[in-house]
Structure 1
Amino acid sequence: MFLSETYRKIAADGIWNNNIVFGQNLALCPLLAVTGTATNGLGMGLATLVVIIASNGLISVTRHLIPSEIRIPIFVLLIAALVTLVDILMNAWAHELYKVLGLFIALIVTNCALLGRAEAFASKQPVKHALWDGLMMGLGFLIVLVALGAAREISASGTLFANASVLLGESFRFLEVTVIPNYKGFLLMALPPGGFIMLAFLIVGKRLIDQKIAERKVSVTVLTPVIAEEES
């Protein structure tokens, strides 16, 4: 069954048009701090994805019960409770990844994107729309984390998803790839400045794609009346 226009718009906004990083310029601190490798980006992205889906759904379910005067503190408490639960579960079931990500798991609470979606969308929409929005926003953030981590890891060490089996579990071993054999490495990409540089390239790339899409739409808009007139 095809998605309705509403669901397609929510998906496009979350993954591309209003992406947490590219569209809203939020969550840059964990983005740059944990994306030294694609594995770290994947782990952080999955943790954030779970929290944003759960928080959107929980806030949508309880939106009629939350007094508007104190809604922001309640939203923060709900998100904090969910992050604490994810933090405990990761410590228990993915301890090696938990040690790598460290404080940044707890700092998901301060991610303005989660509070922003809670206030701007989940608190005003039915549960199914809120859950879909959380899924798409989380996926959009996950894609950027993995893309940035992959670009930095390949340029820094020539590998992709290194130590995935150690950090995420043995079932993720298939992700481990040596992209450039006998590569001596480019240390700058593994350091914080490398994160800023690679993020800049990704942002420029997205804007160039958006520009091409806009130009194509203009061309179609201009040419359509001309073609119709010639056919008539």
Structure 2
Amino acid sequence: MNFIGDFVRGLWKENPVLVLLLGMCPTLATTSNAINGLGMGLATTFVLLGSNVVISLIKNIVPRKIRIPVYIVVIATFVTVVDLLMLAYAPEALYSALGIFIQLIVVNCIVLGRAEAFASKNTPVRSFFDGLGMGLGFTLALTVLGATREFLSSGSLFDVKVITAWTVDFMLPTGAPGAFIILGCFLALMNYLNARRAIKRGEVYVPPQGLDCRHCSICDLGRSKDTDS
């Protein structure tokens, strides 16, 4: 079994943020600086690891009709654990900044998606490496996005002033519009690098499903409405 492949896939090829576009709410809301992004990513990684392994262990004894509620109970258990751990040991500023988004990991589509798509169909060891890869890929994306927004806003990284002459903060990168703009630049760079790699291999680059017009049905819905009218 290719455990390394299960791990590496979440870092780049199927990165939850930069490729699959999952978990956009915490991605945009908690990455105003690098520390917040890192903290949110590590908390989600803990939940991913624990829930993936447990769901893989119990998959054969859970009736299929109630599997989703059972998965949510398992995920909620690990979210409660990480929430209490952060309340006890994490810096107060970090815990306050993340706030409700720690509890909302319960409904994070990355966690439930890996439980349904991978952990419920594979062994505990493979599920562990899948959760680790997806979690670290999520953490990496959030940390880099947070670091970029923090640097463009105040010239600092991880609350350390890199450009000491920067005295007036630029507010756009820390706001919602700035988050969308910077994330869009990251996605464009990701697609560019993937396209260049495909060209070097002599292949045609096909964007991930859901990121191009070939997999969108909105236009079809519009045409069907015009036909009905």
The TM-score normalised by the length of structure 1 is 0.84
Match for residue 198 of structure 1?
Answer: 182
Matched letter for residue 83 of structure 1: V
1:86 maps onto 2:82 in alignment: yes
SS at match of 1:186: coil
Matched letter for residue 182 of structure 1: A
Matched letter for residue 214 of structure 1: A
Match for residue 180 of structure 1?
Answer: 163
Match for residue 135 of structure 2?
Answer: 138
Shift of 1:194: 0.9
Deviation readout 1:127-148 (Å, 9 max, x if unpaired):
1100000000000000000010
Matched letter for residue 117 of structure 1: R
Alignment equivalent of 1:13, drawn from 9, 16, 26: 9
Q: Which runs of 5+ in 1 are unaligned?
A: 163-176, 220-232
Q: Which runs of 5+ in 2 are unaligned?
A: 204-229
Mapped partners of 1:12, 1:23: distance in 2? 14
Asked whether the 8 Å contact 2:45–2:136 carries over to 1, the reply is yes
1:112 maps onto 2:109 in alignment: yes
Deviation readout 1:165-220 (Å, 9 max, x if unpaired):
xxxxxxxxxxxx3222211332101111111111011111111100110011008x
Mapped partners of 1:13, 1:66: distance in 2? 28
The structure with the largest helix share of the pair is 1
1:127 maps onto 2:124 in alignment: yes
The TM-score normalised by the length of structure 2 is 0.85
Asked whether the 8 Å contact 2:43–2:102 carries over to 1, the reply is yes
Mapped partners of 1:142, 1:29: distance in 2? 14
Mapped partners of 2:107, 2:176: distance in 1? 21
Match for residue 169 of structure 1?
Answer: none
Shift of 1:159: 0.4
Match for residue 161 of structure 1?
Answer: 158
Shift of 1:99: 1.1
Match for residue 47 of structure 1?
Answer: 43
1:62 maps onto 2:62 in alignment: no
Shift of 1:68: 1.2
Matched letter for residue 180 of structure 1: I
